[in-house]
Amino acid sequence: MSLPLSGKRALVTGASRGIGAAIARRLAADGADVAITYEKSADKAESLAAELRALGRKAVAVQADAGSTEGANAAVDGAVAGLGGIDILVNNAGVARMGDFAEQPLEDIDALLNVNVRGVLLTTQAALKHIPDGGRIITIGSNVGQRVPFGGLTVYSASKSALESFNRGLARELGPRAITVNMVRPGPIDTDMNPADGPLAPAVLPSVAVGRYGRGEEVAAAVAFLASPDAGFITGDGILVDGGANA
């Protein structure tokens, strides 16, 4: 029996660890060849690429700064060189900086907007030169892009909210080519950036209906579905994976 993504080529940005690595593993398990990008974690990225190749897939790791024009072009060029093209783009690279907006350093604001917004736009624009009709674009947003549960998230939530409008607008533009454009919106996911036993957990957990942090594999499952042929009539929206935090 053929796998749902057999013959597809996926680029997953920011995938050396955490949610991105889980997505790369799931897409490869479903049959896709996968290119991943990293900024600094070369050893982890190369180890993951080797793991994916052991499954019988093509896999490459590309060093790229997620917030720059050069990084966006390097990511796409590396994926095309390594895989022969791109059918699925997963905009996963992102940063989280929290704090009272009145005192938030410009450095943090610039990082949030450059990586979470500008980088997504630039990478998508570069990838569109290669994505064929019927392709998939999936962006990792956040449940706080739709609802802000407590203070300290103002700029981060604004950066994720901006992607909501981008997602809807691009879906309109690419619909005639049968390229679907969707978001996966994680809530609290147990990663090294936001561990389930970390300092934010006491504030976060009371709002989560299922009473626990999610796993990267649960986010990856939503991405895999949206990348699959079964999701061809879903575009301009996506899936909330937050354990009921926004219910």
Amino acid at 148: V
Identify any residues that bridge with 131 across adjacent strands, giving them in sequence order. Answer: none
Do residues 90 and 11 lie in contact, with contact meaning Cβ atoms separated by under 8 Å? yes
Helix, strand, or coil here: 61?
A: strand
Q: Is 7 exposed, middle or buried (0-12, 13-18, 19+ CB in 10 A)?
A: exposed
Catalytic residue, candidates 38, 156, 213, 225: 156
Question: Residue 3: how many CB atoms within 10 A of its CB?
Answer: 13
DSSP code at position 132: P
Q: Is 156 a catalytic residue?
A: yes
At residue 187, φ and ψ (nearest 5 deg) are -95, -145
Which positions are annotated as active-site residues? 156
